[in-house]
Amino acid sequence: MANTILKKERLIPGQTSKLVIHAPHIAAKAKPGNFVILRVNEKGERIPLTIADTDKEHGTITIVYLVLGKSTALLEELNEGDAILDLCGPLGKATHIRTGGTIICVGGGTGIAAMHHIAKGHHEAGNHVVAIIGARSKDLLLFEKELKSFCPEVLISTDDGSYGHKGLVTELLKDRLEKDTTVTEVVAVGPVPMMAAVARTTEPFGVYTTVSLNSIMVDGVGMCGACRVTVGGETRFACVDGPEFDGHKVDFAELRQRLAAFSPMEKQSYEHHCRCKCNDKK
Amino acid sequence: MTKSRKETAPRVPMPNQPADERRRNFDEVALGYTREMAMQEAQRCLQCKKPKCVKGCPVEVPIPQFIAELAKGDVEKAYQVIKSTNSLPAVCGRVCPQEIQCEGACILGVKAEPVAIGRLERFVADEYMHMDACDLITAKPECPLIDEEKKVACIGSGPSSLTVAGYLASRGCKVTVFEALHEVGGVLVYGIPEFRLPKEKIVAKEVNALRELEVEFVTNFVGGKTFSIQDLFDQGYKAVFIGVGAGLPKFLRIPGENFNGVFSANEYLTRVNLGRAYDFPNYDTPIIRGRKVTVYGGGNVAMDAARTAQRLGAESVHIVYRRTADAMPARHEEIEHAVEEGIHLEVLANPVEFRGDERGCLTSVLLQRMELGEPDASGRRSPKPIPGNTYELETDLAVIAVGTNPNPVLLENEPDLKLNKWGYIQADETTGETSIPNVFAGGDIVTGAATVILAMGAGRRAAREIARRLGIPE
């Protein structure tokens, strides 16, 4: 059945999970950089999630999410064999893949999963891909094994030093850019402050930097304009003009503000959900 | 009854929900005629030999014939007559700009008020909403035998596609309608609010009538993304109709436009209508409930957004428009309803800047006072700013309803589709055929933002041509 969860892996228990979903129509067309919009149930909202991997042969797509609010909490309640009510995609522009040179793909937190698909696309196009991934500590690191399966180099940093370099991904990136002049592009996917920091790090080196933006979306097909972001002084829509943009031109401060637009309501919705669940248990 | 008496009879007024009640609920504003009212109004029709009203109707409903049946009390026959050319009468009876179409052409309107054709259509359609049977639609005792070989695909599920689907399915074609969103109906669902067009009672029933004709609806499928036009031909579809709407919202391009609290009308209405945000947190889609709301634009969409904000509990709602109220493109009835509900028309005013607080939340708007200048080439007096005359209006929710640009999703991915100078799809005026053979287009993606009924008219023309090519007799 379409949209059935074939495999669920709790990557970080209670926080981050990976779903392999049967979606042959989407898998057939999906390219690195694309995302889906899904709705868990009849009363659910439409939320965008980046495609972390596809398997055209088996007709599946992989998504990874962080439980943040009610919608992701509902998703977390689904198990193998359950179906997601609505799943729409692949949406957004695919990653623009240039060939030749070294590509550094930087991923942070849940963004590592989305970065994985982009890195894979660069690898399949014949590029030399270096992955730099970071998390707060070792247990929170995602997709290390997957990235190591095709990236000749995977550099790791943790905030607490429990694994790899103690510090930030940008330190590893800066170090690398100083030593390596073959780098033609840097791709960054992760929390907004991380992407902004990556863009600041690469700027003095003049290396083109792609960031994948996780704006708020409703329809995801260019209708509503909720995902608008200022790039190079112009308003662009992350869903149809992106989600990837030139990191040196994105107004990250505005993006951060816009991402917080519904936070009081998201909190209210999550609390309402938890209350209802408690009442159900009683 | 003599003709002269008919001419002087007043138009039967439409019962409405009282303004002070309806401004706090999403129930339908106009309550509809009773059978007595409808029959009384039907008596006013002069039954012209050369009816002008039919020419005014984009889908050519045989108006005098249906009114004659209604005047006799045969509502079922009246319904069949309407359905012979109009797939969505309960929708049209509610949202068509009748005053400039059928009713605008009515000869009674010269000296008195025209026949309330739209209200009569609504009454007849509503009487039969509960009966979706094929014989009512096609006047045949059985549903047509669907020929699986005559496969037609519609991209988008708004009024133009639904018209194509209704026309072809009732003539035995196998129609599949692909919709990008999770619910069928296009603008009827995400755009037009519940209080003007009930979703369950009306739109869902009209869609179900099509399901009975074996029309297949596939949701969450995006033309240009999930599938291409070529994919459809590869799957055996003989013709494709593109009715994907206008899409991409226009913004004002003024400072502060990306502050939190500034919405496009599309986003605002989609959250409320499709996402049922009015019932948050029972439904998960959030909405900012503005205290002091400003809406920019003067069309039906602006009226819908303003009246929605009022219903969501706003203290004040201002519609900001740079010309005067009588130049607003919205239907007169909608403006009147909005004003009755307490919405202020802030006319001869133009926004120049949105202002916000340190957290990026909208707090006010700077408006430029306008005056009407000399008539321009189109004969319309164009508004011009009064130098130095600006003022600030407090607002924590701004909704921009100044139109749309062509949505790029399908167009970018189908480079063979020729576009016109405005970026919309170029389609033959009589057949709706595009630059790709057997691919037709109609509605807002061809004309730019227009009305439901014009989209339906385009759908009807395309469907007729598709039927002809599939060898189906008229």
Give the three-state DSSP class for B37: helix
Average pLDDT over chain A, rounded to whole? 93
Asked whether residue A120 falls in the same domain as residue A182, the answer is yes
Inter-chain residue contact A258 with B360, CB threshold 8 Å: yes
Q: Does the annotation flag A105 for ligand binding?
A: no
Inter-chain residue contact A25 with B270, CB threshold 8 Å: no
The C-alpha of B249 sits at a distance from chain A's nearest C-alpha, in angstroms, of: 6
Q: What is the structure's pLDDT at B1?
A: 46
The answer to whether position A13 is within a domain reads yes
Number of domains in chain A: 2
Question: Which residue of chain B is at minimal alpha-carbon distance from A25?
Answer: B226
Domains of chain B: 3-128 (1.10.1060.10), 144-247+406-469 (3.50.50.60), 249-400 (3.50.50.60)
Query: Which structural domain range is residue A147 located in?
Result: 102-259
Q: Which of A222, A225, A265 sits opposite B280 (nearest CB)?
A: A265
The answer to whether position A84 is within a domain reads yes
Closest CA to A208 of A99, A104, A93: A104
Asked whether residue A37 falls in the same domain as residue A85, the answer is yes
- Best of A218, A237, A254 to mutate (most B CBs within 10 Å, chain B): A218
CATH number at residue A23: 2.40.30.10
Inter-chain residue contact B258 with A230, CB threshold 8 Å: yes
Q: Which of B259, B281, B407 sits opposite A223 (nearest CB)?
A: B407
Instruction: Give yes or no for B24 touching A (CB within 8 A).
Output: no
Asked whether residue A135 falls in the same domain as residue A182, the answer is yes
Q: What is the structure's pLDDT at B138?
A: 56
Asked whether residue A73 falls in the same domain as residue A177, the answer is no
Asked whether residue A82 falls in the same domain as residue A127, the answer is no
Q: What is the structure's pLDDT at A282?
A: 53
The answer to whether position A276 is within a domain reads no
Instruction: Express each pLDDT in A1-39 by its tens digit.
Output: 789 999 999 999 989 999 999 999 999 999 999 999 999
The answer to whether position A59 is within a domain reads yes
Inter-chain residue contact A254 with B264, CB threshold 8 Å: no
Closest CA to B62 of B94, B85, B38, B36: B85
Q: What is the DSSP string of B383-428?
A: EEEEEEEEEEEE-SEEEE-S-B---HHHHHH-TTS-B-TTSSBP--
Domain boundary (A66, A91, A116) is at A91
The answer to whether position A235 is within a domain reads yes
The answer to whether position A248 is within a domain reads yes
Question: Which residue of chain A is at minimal alpha-carbon distance from B259?
Answer: A258
With bands split at pLDDT 50, 70 and 90, how would you rate the model's confidence at A263? confident
Q: What is the structure's pLDDT at A266?
A: 83
Q: What would the mean pLDDT of A253-261 be, rounded to a whole number?
A: 92
Q: What is the structure's pLDDT at A281?
A: 58
The C-alpha of B190 sits at a distance from chain A's nearest C-alpha, in angstroms, of: 10
The predicted complex's ipTM stands at: 0.93
The answer to whether position A27 is within a domain reads yes
Asked whether residue A199 falls in the same domain as residue A169, the answer is yes
Instruction: Express each pLDDT in A132-155 by its tens digit.
Output: 999 999 999 999 999 999 999 999
Q: What is the structure's pLDDT at B377?
A: 81
Q: Which of A71, A89, A273 sits opposite B225 (nearest CB)?
A: A89
Helix axis angle, B63-72 relative to B75-83, nearest 10°? Answer: 170
CATH number at residue A160: 3.40.50.80
Instruction: Give yes or no for A224 touching B (CB within 8 A).
Output: yes
- Three-state SS string across A196-227, please? HHHHHHHHHHCCEEEEECCCCCCCCCCCCCCC
d(CA B456, CA B447): 12
Q: What is the pLDDT along chain B (474 residues), one digit of tens a residue?
A: 445 544 568 999 999 999 999 999 999 999 999 999 999 999 999 999 999 999 999 889 999 999 999 999 999 999 989 988 888 899 999 999 999 999 999 999 988 999 999 999 999 999 887 555 455 555 555 677 888 999 999 999 999 999 999 999 989 999 999 999 999 999 999 999 999 999 988 999 889 888 988 999 999 999 999 999 999 999 999 999 999 998 899 999 999 999 999 999 999 999 999 999 999 989 999 999 999 999 999 999 999 999 999 999 999 999 999 999 999 999 999 999 999 999 999 999 999 999 999 999 999 999 999 999 888 888 888 899 999 999 999 999 999 999 999 999 999 999 999 999 999 999 999 999 999 999 999 999 999 888 888 899 999 999 999 999 999 987
Question: Which residue of chain B is at minimal alpha-carbon distance from A251?
Answer: B258
Domain boundary (A68, A91, A114) is at A91
Asked whether residue A108 falls in the same domain as residue A39, the answer is no
Residue B104 tokens, joined: 């605008």
The answer to whether position A174 is within a domain reads yes
B104 Cβ contact list (under 8 Å, min separation 6): B56, B98, B114
A46 contact residues in B (CB cutoff 8 A): 182, 275, 285
Inter-chain residue contact B221 with A258, CB threshold 8 Å: no
Q: What is the structure's pLDDT at A101?
A: 86
Question: Which residue of chain A is at minimal alpha-carbon distance from B360?
Answer: A257
Asked whether residue A41 falls in the same domain as residue A159, the answer is no
Q: What is the structure's pLDDT at A106?
A: 97
Asked whether residue A107 falls in the same domain as residue A215, the answer is yes
Domain boundary (A28, A57, A91) is at A91
Q: Does the annotation flag A239 for ligand binding?
A: yes
